[in-house]
Amino acid sequence: MRRASVVAAMLGAGIGCANWSLAAQEAIPALISPPTLQRPVPGPFLGGVPSGTATGDVQTITVVQALTRSLEHNLGVLTAQNNLGRARGARWRALSDLLPTINGRISETRQQINLQAFGFGSTTGSPFGDIPPIVGPFNVFDARLFMSLPVLDFGALNDARSEAHNVEAARHLNQGARDFVLYITGTVYVQALATSARADAATVQRQTAQALYDQAVDLKRSGVIAGIDVLRAEVQLNSQTQRSTIAANEFEKAKLQLARIIGLPLGQRFALDPNLPGLPSPDISLDEAVARAHRARPDYLAALERVRAAESSRQGVIGDALPSVRVNADYGDIGLSPADARMTYSISGAVTIPIFQGGRIRGRLLEADAEVRNRRAEAEDLKASIYYEVRAALLDLDATTQQLDVAAKARDLAAQQLTQARDRFAAGVASNIEVVQAQDAVAVATEQFIAAQYGQTLARAALSRGIGSVEEVLRQILGGSR
């Protein structure tokens, strides 16, 4: 039962419906029936960046090691970190419109000027007496600083506020990506353990079928049973052999998926540790869980920040229609050479008043209004989806807890039924039809037990994911902040 206790916090809080602008791939197959509410898994979270060099040894990877490695090498986490960096860069660009800009320039020019080209004098003579119309060549040296200072710009101010909200949204999405990849990694790890349990069960059932086939052959030689019983036993053996092969192949594919998610070196052989950390079952009501999720879910907090960013952008559009004030200045030395250069400066202030822009502001305002409505709708949809995810997880948790008790009893009864059927067959009082039916009953009961056992784990994981705070619990497991 320790396997079934892995959950909540460690596999939890994800990003559900966060808008990463990434193509969605196939959802993780559900291990329980009925399945939990699942959303498509964004593609990058199913990939990773391989790191390290493969060794010839078989490494045993625990679930904690898989989780911590996924935080470092999963593509979804790395993408979220890069998106946060881009958001910070965009905020700095927006802030630059509110800060003074200072540039320096040093120039040395040699030129010759035709005064007549500028309207001085005429082709018949010069108004300057002996001064010829061609002046130069002469040098001009200029070393100067230029400054431009925005004093009042409502548009730039609100644009900077909008980018600040976008940075906060990206920060929440980055945290949400970390939580979500923990959920994905934990789910795939548990899924691999479930396929491993199925492979082990299929192997045992194949061995049982082999023993029953050998027994049927011996009884046929002794004249106790008919040949049809041997044929029936051989068909059952072939069927169980095929099931065992398929189950083993599914287990290997599940391991490959896990290796990709956590960024293992290509070709590295590894084994899974079936011992999962035992965590208490969450004892929380629906209202408490939903309220906690609304306070802690990074994707919902990011959605609220995107709403604020859209509202600030709209205010920025309005601000562009208002007057703005800017001061420009320059200071430097100018002369024929650096030795005889003299100080000069200029200061100017300008008020820019938008009068007519051909409907540009109105068009931008209509776009901003639509963006605000979209962001608000997304936030409300996510708020509702959190409720449904948490409620579905609670329902699955209750159902799988009950199913696990029933499945454990059914598995024991099916094993007893198979033992009695084998005894009756060996005694010659029954055909092996009863044995085959008992074998099928054992296979069904074993599958139901595995589905209920790991389904309970995934239901707890889904509840923890819906509430949030998975990384905090992982730190507690590791013994401190990391």
Dihedral sign of CA atoms 372, 377, 380, 385 in order: negative
Q: What is the pLDDT of residue 284?
A: 81
Give the tokens for residue 307.
């709403």
* Crossing angle for the helix pair 433-467 and 470-478, to the nearest 10 degrees: 100
| % of the chain at pLDDT higher than 70 | 85
Burial class (CB in 10 A: 0-12, 13-18, 19+), 396: buried
Chain segment 89-140, per-residue pLDDT in tens: 999 999 998 999 999 999 999 988 887 787 776 555 555 556 677 888 889 9
Tokens of 250: 């599914």
Give the separation between CA 439 and CA 434, rounded to whole angstroms: 9
The torsion angles phi and psi of 414, rounded to 5 degrees, stand at -65, -35
> What local confidence, expressed as pLDDT, does residue 211 receive?
86
> Any bridge partners for residue 331, and if so which?
145, 345
Contact (CB, 8 A) for 111 and 137? yes
Cβ neighbours for 383, distance < 8 A, ≥ 6 positions apart = 294, 300
| Closest among 6, 1, 2 to 477, alpha carbons compared | 6
What are the tens digits of pLDDT across the range 218-244?
888 887 778 888 898 889 899 989 999
Q: How far apart are CA 125 and CA 52, in angstroms?
A: 85
Phi and psi angles of residue 271, each rounded to the nearest 5 degrees, phi first:
-125, 160
Question: What residue ranges define each of the domains in the chain, with the CATH number in brackets?
Answer: 3-94+156-316+360-478 (1.20.1600.10), 100-152+324-352 (2.20.200)
Establish whether the linkage from the previous residue to 42 is cis, with ω within 30° of 0.
no
State pLDDT tens for residues 341-388: 899 999 999 999 998 888 889 999 999 999 999 999 999 999 999 999
CB 51 within 8 A of CB 265: yes
Q: 143: how many CB neighbours lie within 10 A of its CB?
A: 16
- In the numeric block, which tokens belong to residue 457? 């784990």
Q: Are 176 and 306 in contact (CB under 8 A)?
A: no
Q: What is the pLDDT of residue 16?
A: 38
Cis peptide before 29 (omega within 30 of 0): no
Alpha carbons 280 and 7: distance in angstroms, whole number:
9
Helices 154-221, 360-427: crossing angle, 10 deg rounding: 10
Q: Please identify every stretch of the chain with a pLDDT value under 50, giving residue numbers as ranges.
A: 1-40, 480-482
Please tell me the predicted confidence (pLDDT) of residue 307.
96
Q: Rounded to 5 degrees, what angle do the CA atoms 307, 308, 312 make?
A: 120
Max distance between CA atoms of the chain, in angstroms, equals 143
Smallest Cα–Cα separation from 450: which of 247, 296, 265, 164?
247
Distances (CA, A) of 41 to 13, 29, 177: 14, 11, 12
Distance CA 297, CA 18 (A): 10
Angle subtended at Cα 47 by Cα 455 and Cα 475, rounded to the nearest 5 degrees: 60
Q: How many CB atoms lie within 10 A of CB 440?
A: 15
User: Which DSSP string corresponds to 378-418?
Assistant: HHHHHHHHHHHHHHHHHHHHHHHHHHHHHHHHHHHHHHHHH
CA distance 138 to 151: 40
